[in-house]
Structure 1
Amino acid sequence: MQGVWRELAGLVLPVDCAGCGRPRTELCAGCRRVLARDGRGARRVRPWPEPGGLPRVWAGAPYADEVRAVLLAHKERGALRLAGPLGAVLAGAVRGLRAGGGPLLLVPVPSARRSVAGRGHDPVRRIALAAAGELRRTGTGARVLTVLRQRRVVADQAGLSARQRLANVTGALEVRAGAGRLLTGRAAVLVDDLVTTGATLAEAARAVTASGGRVAGAAVVAAPSSAFESDGARIEALPRGK
């Protein structure tokens, strides 16, 4: 219900642009153009140190400036209509993977139930649905499979090192009972809003593979600028993160 009330409030109450703060618009034309431009420039990203089992990861945009502000507004402040433009950026990252023929299966990384309850929505799932819609609109078959769940509680990742985050999430995810048949013999693309250390995506890949699925890669809305490859080479070490 929280999400519904936020959407209704956004229709009648004045809001500021999530990207730059321009008054009386949830996302101004300038920031919308920035997101659209970044979504067309998706590139591969690689954390360092790279956790074992991490599939190839593509990101739609650097996690900075307008993109960072819009992601946080959608995730933490419940600006739900921002899922559309963020989904378009994620769709650009999915296209970059070139995951092969046939319809794509987008598998969102799950949020903790307490986080979903606190926010009133699941931001990654919402962005994934928008991305699937954008892919279908442009001629690529895609559907979202919400099959992953947390099998145990994990600690808040904030402030943990890359090694600590990997230990924190190892073995924490599983495919829902009975959902493995939806993945068997099919290529899945893991999707998330942000990657930093890659620990969560590596764990998601392990869980999907253990259930009989095949991971074609991972796509995220954003990653730190330092993680983006340039001419096939990693630029520099990746800072702490997700």
Structure 2
Amino acid sequence: MQGVWRELAGLVLPVDCAGCGRPRTELCAQCRRALARDGRGARRVRPRSAPAGLPRVWAGAPYADEVRAVLLAHKERGALPLAGPLGEVLAGAVRGLRPGGGPLLLVPVPSARRAVAGRGHDPVRRIARTAAGELRRVGTGARVLAVLRQRRAVADQAGLSARQRLENVAGALEVPDVARRLLAGLPAVLVDDLVTTGATLAEAARAMAVAGGRVVGAAVVAAPVSAFAAGRGGAPLRALPQGI
């Protein structure tokens, strides 16, 4: 219900641009163009000290300036219409993976239940649905399959080191037995709003492998600027074996 009230409030109350603060518009034309421009520049990224099992990751934009502001506005302030432009950026990252022209599953990384309850929405799933619609619009058969679940509680990742994040999420995700048949051997792309150390995406890939999923990569809306630099100049990530 919180999400419904936020959407209704946005229709009648003045808002400021999530990107630059310009009044009376949720996302001004200039910031929308900036997002679209960044989304066309999707690139392979590699977090520093990338964990074992991390699939190849493509990001739609650097986590800075308008992109950072818009992501936070959508995620933490409940600016739900921003899922549209953010989903377009995520779709660009998925296309960067070049997963082929057949049907494709977008598998969102799950948020903690308490976080979803507090925010009134699941930001990653909302962005993933928009991205799937954008992909279908240009001829890529894509649908969202939210089969990953948290099997235990995890601590807030903010402020944790790369090693601590790995320990925090190790074994935390699963695909319930009743959902495993839905994977059906189709190529799956893990999707998230942001990658930092890659610990959560590596754990998601592990859980999918246990369930028999075929992960072909991961796509995120944004990544730190340093990860973009490493993705261009660093050693390439090894391709995942079949079934991971």
Same fold (TM over 0.5): yes
Output the CA distance in 2 between the equivalents of 1:174 and 1:5: 32
* Offset at residue 105 of structure 1 (A): 0.3
Q: For residue 33 of structure 2, what is the aligned residue in structure 1?
A: 33
Output the CA distance in 1 between the equivalents of 2:73 and 2:28: 14
* Offset at residue 139 of structure 1 (A): 1.3
Look up the equivalent residue of 1:53 and give its one-letter code.
G
* Offset at residue 9 of structure 1 (A): 0.3
* Offset at residue 184 of structure 1 (A): 3.4
Q: For residue 205 of structure 2, what is the aligned residue in structure 1?
A: 205
Indicate if the aligned counterparts of 1:189 and 1:215 stay in contact, CA closer than 8 A: yes
Output the CA distance in 2 between the equivalents of 1:101 and 1:28: 34
SS at match of 1:52: coil
Look up the equivalent residue of 1:4 and give its one-letter code.
V
Which moved further from structure 2: 120-129 or 95-104?
Answer: 95-104
Q: For residue 241 of structure 2, what is the aligned residue in structure 1?
A: none
Post-superposition Cα deviations, 1:176-196, rounded to whole Å, max 9, x if no partner, equal 231111113221000000001
TM-score, normalization: structure 2? Answer: 0.94
Look up the equivalent residue of 1:190 and give its one-letter code.
L
Indicate if the aligned counterparts of 2:108 and 2:125 stay in contact, CA closer than 8 A: yes
* Offset at residue 138 of structure 1 (A): 1.3
Output the CA distance in 1 between the equivalents of 2:97 and 2:108: 16
* Offset at residue 219 of structure 1 (A): 0.1
Q: For residue 118 of structure 2, what is the aligned residue in structure 1?
A: 118
* Offset at residue 158 of structure 1 (A): 1.0
Look up the equivalent residue of 2:35 and give its one-letter code.
L
Post-superposition Cα deviations, 1:64-95, rounded to whole Å, max 9, x if no partner, equal 00000000000000000000000000000000
Aligned 1:1-242 pairs, distance under 5 A: 1-229=1-229, 232-234=232-234
Look up the equivalent residue of 2:151 and give its one-letter code.
R
* Offset at residue 229 of structure 1 (A): 4.1
SS at match of 1:179: helix
Output the CA distance in 2 between the equivalents of 1:179 and 1:121: 22
Indicate if the aligned counterparts of 1:44 and 1:229 stay in contact, CA closer than 8 A: no
Look up the equivalent residue of 1:43 and give its one-letter code.
R
Post-superposition Cα deviations, 1:25-68, rounded to whole Å, max 9, x if no partner, equal 00000000000001100000001201000000000000000000
Aligned residues: 235
Indicate if the aligned counterparts of 1:227 and 1:234 stay in contact, CA closer than 8 A: no
The RMSD of aligned alpha carbons is 1.2
Identity in percent? 84
SS at match of 2:11: helix
* Offset at residue 140 of structure 1 (A): 1.1
Output the CA distance in 1 between the equivalents of 2:91 and 2:187: 16
Relative to structure 1, the CA distance from residue 182 to residue 9 in structure 2 (aligned partners, 3 Å threshold; closer, same or farther) is: same
Runs of 4+ in 1 over 6 A off after TM superposition: none
* Offset at residue 200 of structure 1 (A): 0.1
Relative to structure 1, the CA distance from residue 230 to residue 111 in structure 2 (aligned partners, 3 Å threshold; closer, same or farther) is: closer
TM-score, normalization: structure 1? Answer: 0.95
